[in-house]
Structure 1
């Protein structure tokens, strides 16, 4: 669903750099105007199967000049460094909630949920869910372990270890399901900070069937699944489109059984 867009504007435009390598889960070494900096990587998990060697990126600069990592990598590109009009993939999963909040408060996600009351990080059961909009709880997830974009010839990939940290996801979708005892709706909001055609989870891992069955069970009890695609540039984040995928996930699950 496309709409007229009131963009999320960065207070200070993002800076373009070049990732030389990802030293560990938290640190990327980035060249900015010929100087190499240790930069904060805002997601500790795998980002696709990308080998981070000469990967263009966008960075935000902290106002705290005493911070150990002055820059945060906000987005990466799988285009060549020489490409003047790069496509960017946002990797800051925490920032995704700020973007969602902006568009919720501006009423630009009104086909999904509409209310003047938008609350962040609301306690529910033993969890804190990302949003309570009116009487609807919303949990935002930003998948990065699989990137649903074309990987060009110059991109090197490697086979990483299987992702196994599903406990938090299982807990949150369980809390969403439980919220339906007192509320009419609960939404799992899959957020891509790039234009993804549609969410596709892993089907090969040893945990994939368990995750799929958990999601399908929650859907059958009333949890809705929606997807949003954002576009990030050095100056702003725009809402490309958002749509419900509840039936698609159920149908895909049935096709695999």
Structure 2
């Protein structure tokens, strides 16, 4: 998918809080929005080349979103709103092998106490599948992990997927790795052991666990290849 908005190159300076960052654009220091509440400490370092998406909304306090950065010559998309859009496009274009049979795609549907990113179904609605998507940016030596900060909500979503499976629905979680050239993925047990435990329980409960990397370029991002999962 292409962003369909102007992209500018800048230099990262600092991140005073989860929502904003100070960057240098055209020689001037400005404040921009960071559309990712994760830590991203290994990515957003002073002096790092970053990419800004222009947001033409007069009601916003900031004019730009910080959507990507270069780490070790790898372009990483950090926009947490992008994964669902990329997966939606992939579902429409039948690029996710396990989910090709589903024709109907619905977004943000409630099940139990959770709201899943997707509810998929066949034309006759006799086969329903709930899908949760998680964006991944934490990478080291070709290995990716999730999450990069504790997430009780993430574990709760997994438990709800297990319940959906018990009730006879299809259920899966897809980790969309927002960079290319990665080999493996695993839960980040050091940061959030509860999430890892929930994910392993989901595997035992026959919930589908998928991981895909992405082709990332300055003007867009698209789903690419399956990545091996290590639980």
Deviation at 1:35, TM superposition (A): 2.0
Aligned-pair CA distance for 1:215: 1.6
What SS does structure 2 have at the residue aligned with 1:226?
A: strand
Give the TM-score normalised by structure 2: 0.85
Residues of 2 paired with 1:51 and 1:98: CA distance? 23
Aligned to 1:235: 219
The alpha carbon displacement at 1:44 in A equals 1.6
Structure 2: 5+ residue stretches without partners? 122-127, 143-147
> Contact 1:62 / 1:71 at 8 angstroms: preserved in 2?
yes
Distance 1:244 1:184, change over 3 A: farther
Counterparts in 2 of 1:108-257, with a 5 A limit? 108-109=95-96, 111-114=97-100, 115-134=102-121, 135-144=128-137, 146-149=138-141, 163-164=149-150, 166-195=151-180, 196-205=182-191, 207-208=192-193, 210-243=194-227, 245=229, 248-249=230-231
Matched, 1:76 2:76: no
Whole-Å separation in 2 of the counterparts to 1:51 and 1:112 = 34
Superposition deviation, residue 182 in structure 1 = 3.7
Counterparts of 2:168 and 2:33, CA distance in 1: 39
**Which has the larger share of strand?**
2
Listed one character per residue, the Cα deviations across residues 194-248 of structure 1 (whole Å, up to 9, x for unaligned) are 022221333445x52x433322222111111100111221222132212573xx4
Cα drift, residue 99 of structure 1: 1.1
In the superposition, the TM-score normalised over structure 1's length comes to 0.77
* 1:89 and 2:76 correspond: yes
* Bigger relative contact order, structure 1 or 2 (CA pairs below 8 A, ≥6 apart): 1
List gaps (5 residues or longer) in structure 1. 1-7, 80-85, 151-161, 250-257
Cα displacement (A) at 1:193: 0.8
RMSD over aligned Cα, in angstroms? Answer: 2.1
- Aligned pairs, how many? 218
| CA positional deviation for 1:149 | 4.5
